[in-house]
Structure formats: C-alpha cells, structure tokens
C-alpha cells in the first residue's frame, strides 16, 4: 500500500488549543527513545489495557481502551470516535517531535508477529516539519489524515522552534484501507511532493566519509544523528545513512564500530526481536 492522504478533518481550533495546552503540561514517555535523535516522545490515549504504564506496541485483537489521559481529552476522544471505527483501533498516541529532532530512518513492526495500519492525524505542524519515505520527502498538513506505509524505510523531523504533534492511530491490519478513515473531507489537491532539497553529490559523500578521521565511541551517537538528518536537506534515500555509517566505521579501522554500525542497520531496517532495545 502506498503512503497517501486519506482525507481532511476540519479541526475545532478552540477545543484543540485547549487540549494541546493540557498536553503541554502532560508527561510524555521516552519509550522507544532508541529511535530518537533529539526529543521524540509520545503519550498513550488508547492501548490494550487502558493503563498509562503500557507503553510498547504489541499485536492484539481487542478494541483499544482509553487511558486516563485519553478519557480527559474529550475533543481528541471525539475525533477518534467520529473519524475511525473504535472497534478497529488498537492504539492511539500523541507523538511530539521537538526542535531539531528526528526519528532515525527505520521500518516499523519488524518485532511483531503481525502489523497494523498506521494513520497520522496532523494536529500541530509548520513548514519546517517533514516526513520522508525512502528517497521522497513530503509535508503532512494540519488537519490531514494520512496513511503511512510503515513497512518502508521512513523518518520524520522537526527543524523549527515549535514542536510537531500528531495523533497516531494503529488500526486492525485486516481492515480495507478505504474503510479506515470516515467522515473526512476531500484532500485539497496541493502538491505534497515538492522537493526543494539540495542535490546530493560525490563531493558531499566524500565530506561525510571524512568523518572516519574523527569518529570514536565518544562521539558515535552524535555522528549517527548527523547522518540521520542529512536526507531532510539533500536528495538522497533516508536509508543511505547506514551505508555511510558502515563505510565511515570501516575506514576508521575500529572493528567494534563496524560491528555496531551493522547492528544498527539490522535493528532499524531488517530484524529486531520483541522487546529488543538498541543502545549505541
């Protein structure tokens, strides 16, 4: 299935602003922080148990239960009820990306026995926020409802002072995609695929590979973050960062870094065990 806009919701600005203010003072989880370069965090509105302590996504077959936070946010709860089949919702989260942060390029559901249909409802964003999928970049507009093909390598970033907030809903994977969102308007027809990134060149590649002169255990995580963000600004596939990282590690002659870089690529793109956490 192809990532695309499913429709548009006409948001109630006053009610949404009130609930975004509540969220600004709420506790967000750092679970899955191994996927974050900077502040990428979430809070659960619905999950399998209704317990806020249940943070990790697993495959289950029962309708999601509202958490205490989800119950308190009446407008967001209404959005879920009005625009999705509540019996098909398995998880609903608010995901917040803060200034100059991104999620490392990855594929979702690798650790699960099944997969869901992942939908984003854009609550608060700006032109300095973007999503990427393989070699494409696009902007999800406020009020838009998007299906994200999470099986493909993808990322998301926020490069403004204002954080980006999405309502992210995991839907029963057996549902036909055209039945996932309901009571939504037609997309505006704007060109979401405008790509203003700088062309990637062999000179740029050699500059990046020159990090082999300074990479070490002490700065490895910072270099991963630099590589993870480059595709937001240059016309290059988001997963290219792993080939760069492996070559940088190989050139520096440090076997432990080569092994670590191969482990990162395996974890984020090909296979990870249930409950596995990546530390680097």
- What pLDDT shows up at residue 80? 98
Secondary structure, 3-state, the chain: CCCEEEEECCCCHHHHHHHHHHHHCCCCECCCHHHEECCEEEEEEEECCCCCCCCCCCCCCCCCEECHHHHHCHHHHHHHHHHECCCCEEEEEEEEECCCEEEEEECCCCCCCCCCEEEEEEEECCCCEEEEECCEEECCCCCEEEEECCCCCEEEEECCCCCEEEEEEEECCCCCHHHCECCCECCCCCCCCCCCCEECCHHHHHHHHHHHHCCCCCCHHHHHHHHHHHCCCEECCCCHHHHHHHHHHHHHCCHHHHHHHHHHHHHHHHCCCCCCCCCC
Backbone angles phi, psi at 25, to 5 degrees: -100, 5
Closest to 178 in 3D by CA, of 9, 4, 28 = 4
Which CATH code for domain 198-270?
Answer: 1.10.1720.10
191 pLDDT higher than 80: no
List, for residues 239-267, the tens digit of each pLDDT value. 999 999 999 999 999 999 999 999 999 99
List, for residues 46-99, the tens digit of each pLDDT value. 999 999 999 999 999 999 999 999 999 999 999 999 999 999 999 999 999 999
Backbone angles phi, psi at 148, to 5 degrees: -110, 120
- What pLDDT shows up at residue 1? 61
List, for residues 30-50, the tens digit of each pLDDT value. 999 999 999 999 999 999 999
Tell me the CA distances in angstroms from 196 to 81, 137, 193, one per residue in order. Answer: 37, 9, 10
**The Cα angle at residue 164 between residues 14 and 21, in degrees rounded to 5:** 35
The CA distance from 4 to 149, in Å, is 9
List, for residues 167-176, the tens digit of each pLDDT value. 999 999 999 9
All CATH 1.10.1720.10 domain ranges in the chain, comma separated = 198-270
Mean of the per-residue pLDDT values for the chain? 96
List, for residues 89-144, the tens digit of each pLDDT value. 999 999 999 999 999 999 999 999 888 999 999 999 999 999 999 999 999 999 99
The CA distance from 60 to 115, in Å, is 10
All CATH 2.60.120.330 domain ranges in the chain, comma separated = 4-179
CATH level 2 (architecture), domain 4-179: Sandwich (2.60)
pLDDT bracket for residue 188 (50, 70, 90):
confident
Dig out the tokens for 16 from the structure. 């949404």
């Amino acid at each position: 299935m192809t990532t695309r806009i499913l429709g548009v919701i006409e948001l109630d600005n006053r009610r949404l602003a009130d609930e975004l203010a509540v969220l600004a003072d709420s506790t967000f989880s750092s679970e899955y922080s191994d996927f974050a370069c900077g502040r990428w965090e979430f809070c659960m509105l619905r999950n399998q148990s209704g317990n806020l302590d249940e943070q990790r996504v697993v495959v289950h077959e029962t309708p999601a239960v509202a958490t205490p936070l989800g119950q308190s946010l009446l407008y967001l709860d209404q959005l879920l009820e009005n625009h999705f089949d509540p019996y098909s919702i398995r998880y609903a989260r608010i995901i917040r990306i803060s200034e100059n942060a991104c999620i490392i390029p990855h594929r979702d559901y690798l650790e699960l026995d099944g997969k869901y249909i992942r939908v984003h409802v854009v609550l608060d964003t700006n032109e300095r926020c973007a999503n990427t999928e393989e070699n494409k970049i696009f902007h999800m507009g406020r009020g838009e409802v998007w299906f994200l093909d999470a099986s493909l390598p993808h990322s998301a970033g926020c490069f403004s002072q204002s954080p980006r907030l999405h309502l992210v809903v995991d839907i029963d994977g057996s549902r036909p995609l055209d039945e996932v969102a309901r009571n939504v308007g037609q997309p505006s027809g704007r060109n979401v695929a405008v790509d203003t990134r700088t062309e990637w060149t062999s000179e740029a590649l050699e500059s990046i590979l020159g990090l082999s002169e300074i990479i070490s255990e002490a700065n490895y995580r910072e270099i991963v973050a630099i590589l993870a963000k480059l595709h937001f600004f240059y016309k290059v596939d988001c997963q290219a960062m792993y080939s760069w990282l492996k070559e940088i590690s190989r050139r520096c002659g440090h076997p432990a870094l080569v092994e670590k870089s191969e482990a990162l690529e395996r974890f984020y793109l090909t296979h990870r065990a249930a409950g596995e956490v990546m530390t680097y």
